[in-house]
Amino acid sequence: HWTLLSVSLLNCLLSTACSVGLALAIALTVHSRGTHLVRGCNSSALPVDARAAIATNDCPFNTTRIYDTALALWFPSLLLAAAEAVLSGRCSLVALVFQGIGPCAHSYGKEQV
């Protein structure tokens, strides 16, 4: 039970940190209109808006769809990380109940008797 509690708390903490990091990345990307995504390119031909970026030889990657692709991958990842954090939190509560700690522990013990 203690292993379940410690692993689920650790996973909940890491999933929450991942969710916060993804939310911050999405917010910064939307706020800057994707300019941070093409910062590694040293071309003056790149426009300020990353959505209108063109592929140049000065950039090590294709910049045409980087804004939309990044957001399309980050939104589902954010939702999955948040769901994982919630499920890990629920698993932590179950481990606490098994240990006799928590709000439902006393009723769980009476039901078992």
Structural domain boundaries enclosing 79? 73-99
pLDDT category at 11 given cuts 50, 70, 90 is very high
Model confidence at 113: pLDDT above 50 = no
pLDDT tens digits, one per residue of 28-70: 888 887 777 776 665 555 555 555 555 555 566 666 677 778 8
Cβ(105)–Cβ(18) below 8 Å: no
Cβ(99)–Cβ(91) below 8 Å: no
Residue 26 lies in a domain: no
Residue 30 lies in a domain: no
DSSP 62-87: --SSHHHHHHHHHHHHHHHHHHHHHH
Residue 78 lies in a domain: yes
Rounded to 5 degrees, φ, ψ at 36 are -70, -25
Residue 46 lies in a domain: no
Residue, of 98 and 18, whose pLDDT is higher: 18
Give the pLDDT confidence score for residue 22 in this predicted structure.
92
Q: From CA 4, how far away is CA 2, in angstroms rounded? A: 5
Give the pLDDT confidence score for residue 2 in this predicted structure.
81
Residue 79 lies in a domain: yes
Residue 40 lies in a domain: no
Q: Which residues contact 70 (CB under 8 A, 6 or more apart)?
A: 29, 34, 37
Residue 88 lies in a domain: yes
Model confidence at 15: pLDDT above 50 = yes
Number of domains in the chain: 1
Residue 82 lies in a domain: yes
